[in-house]
């Protein structure tokens, strides 16, 4: 009986749902951010994994859920193990069993997809890193051809298929995404296709930067010409409402010890991994530069279009100074992560931006603001401004009123600086 390394289970606090984090991967993606790509964890058979899964769910939920996600690492490395795991989940009453995979093994083995379908797999999310053979091989170390064959086989099966690609400036841009979209449309133009922005924080190699909003929108325009179900996955950058807030996860380790892990824990785990695999301490320090932006984005998750806290000139909300937090890309100009401004009654976002420009020089104004000949001031497209967690574009834009004790966050789509 074969064994796979299990790093941990993750249990959702929103609704009963479990993730299996398996270790090991056959790809060596330059921008990978998951410690699970390496071998490790606790070696278990599929039966042992299912037993511990069931006990973990009973301990936390008091029941076994009906939805499971199998991820990693790369879950398809051991066919016998994966098939046994899927069969076991189906036997335990799971109705939705999702596989998150790079698809490579499914394209090499002609019988893999049919056997997964027979075992009970209901959905597959396939990462298509690139269409072009040279780009895919450079980035992952492996050919793209088996991945594309896996797409065809999954589409021909009864397994629901979702495809996703990470937009990486200078590597996988609109032209490459158009090739992927054309291929997918030749298979099934109704397939779900997600375009995700590359996040350089915690990536194994600093291969590129975060894409701009304009770059993401251009990729969407190109893909949607071929695929009506293409979407941009923008996380908490611009789109609200976001999914229900989940700032912590219930992690259950193979020995069934439980830990409530937040973003800080996840950040430290990844930095610990990087410090182990990277010999130079300066590399880890470079990753830490983006921790601030990471924390700013996470602070916005779960806040809907309806302001969580309205500005209020009365009572406590109008008594303190206005707090303004800057992204890392502006720290070279501001020389600080955040500042406070004293307000004399109500002001507007525009007036706040003008005060910041006066405080931090014309270069701040030129970097963040557009000023036309009619003295109309707007925020440049590479930045978003949030008042008390809500994008000002969902309020009154630059005319939005601001009071003491409010908080403004400026976020940049292009990280670094």
Distances (CA, A) of 95 to 76, 90, 100, 163: 20, 7, 16, 21
User: pLDDT per residue over 70-100, tens digit each?
Assistant: 999 999 999 999 999 999 999 999 999 999 9
User: pLDDT per residue over 339-361, tens digit each?
Assistant: 999 998 889 999 999 999 999 98
Task: Inform me whether the pLDDT recorded for 239 exceeds 90.
Answer: no
The whole-number average pLDDT for the span 105-132 is 98
The whole-number average pLDDT for the span 154-179 is 96
Task: Inform me whether the pLDDT recorded for 276 exceeds 90.
Answer: no
How far apart CA 395 and CA 385 sit, in angstroms, is 11
Helical H runs in 128-212? Answer: 133-140, 145-156, 174-188
> Domains in the chain and their CATH numbers?
4-298 (3.20.20.70), 315-412 (3.10.20.30)
How far apart CA 340 and CA 319 sit, in angstroms, is 13
Nearest of 118, 86, 78, 79 to residue 20 by alpha carbon:
86
Cβ-based neighbours of 360, under 8 Å, separated by 6 or more: 333, 334
How does residue 14 score in pLDDT terms, banded at 50, 70 and 90? confident
| Residue 63: count of CB within 10 angstroms of its CB | 11
**Hey, what are 55's tokens?**
């006990």
User: pLDDT per residue over 376-393, tens digit each?
Assistant: 889 987 888 999 988 888
């Amino acid at each position: 009986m074969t064994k796979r390394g299990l790093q941990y289970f993750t249990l959702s606090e929103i609704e009963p749902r479990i993730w299996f984090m398996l270790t090991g991967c056959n790809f060596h993606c330059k921008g990978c951010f998951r410690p699970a790509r390496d071998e490790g964890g606790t070696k278990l058979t599929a039966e042992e994994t299912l037993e511990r899964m069931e006990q973990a769910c009973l301990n936390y939920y008091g029941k076994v859920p009906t939805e499971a996600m199998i991820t990693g690492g790369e879950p398809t490395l051991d066919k016998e193990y994966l098939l046994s795991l899927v069969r076991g989940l189906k036997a335990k009453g799971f109705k939705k069993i999702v596989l998150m995979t790079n698809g490579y093994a499914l394209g090499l083995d002609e019988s893999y997809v049919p056997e997964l379908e027979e075992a009970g797999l209901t959905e597959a999310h396939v990462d298509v890193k690139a269409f072009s053979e040279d780009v895919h091989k450079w980035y992952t170390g492996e050919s793209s051809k088996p991945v594309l064959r896996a797409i065809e086989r999954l589409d021909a099966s009864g397994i629901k298929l979702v495809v996703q690609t990470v937009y990486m400036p200078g590597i996988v841009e609109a032209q490459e995404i158009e090739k992927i979209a054309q291929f997918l449309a030749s298979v099934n133009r109704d397939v779900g296709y997600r375009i995700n922005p590359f996040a350089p924080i915690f990536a194994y190699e600093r291969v590129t930067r975060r894409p701009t909003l304009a770059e993401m929108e251009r990729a969407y325009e190109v893909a949607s010409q071929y695929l009506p179900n293409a979407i941009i996955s923008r996380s908490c950058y611009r789109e609200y409402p976001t999914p229900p807030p989940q700032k912590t996860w219930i992690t259950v380790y193979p020995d069934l010890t439980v830990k409530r892990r937040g973003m800080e824990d996840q950040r430290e785990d990844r930095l610990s991994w990087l410090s182990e695999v990277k010999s130079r301490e300066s590399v880890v320090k470079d990753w830490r530069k983006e921790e601030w932006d990471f924390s700013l984005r996470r602070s916005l998750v779960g806040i809907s279009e309806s302001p969580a806290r309205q500005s209020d000139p009365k009572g406590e909300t109008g008594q303190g100074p206005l707090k303004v937090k800057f992204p890392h890309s502006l720290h070279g100009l501001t020389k600080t992560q955040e500042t406070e401004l004293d307000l004399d009654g109500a002001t507007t976002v525009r007036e706040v931006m003008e005060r910041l420009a006066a405080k931090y020089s014309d270069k701040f104004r030129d970097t963040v603001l557009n000023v036309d000949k009619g003295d109309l001031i707007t925020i440049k497209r590479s930045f978003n401004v949030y008042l008390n967690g809500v994008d000002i574009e969902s309020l009154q834009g630059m005319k939005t009123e601001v009071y003491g004790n409010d908080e403004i966050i400026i976020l940049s789509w292009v990280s670094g600086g």
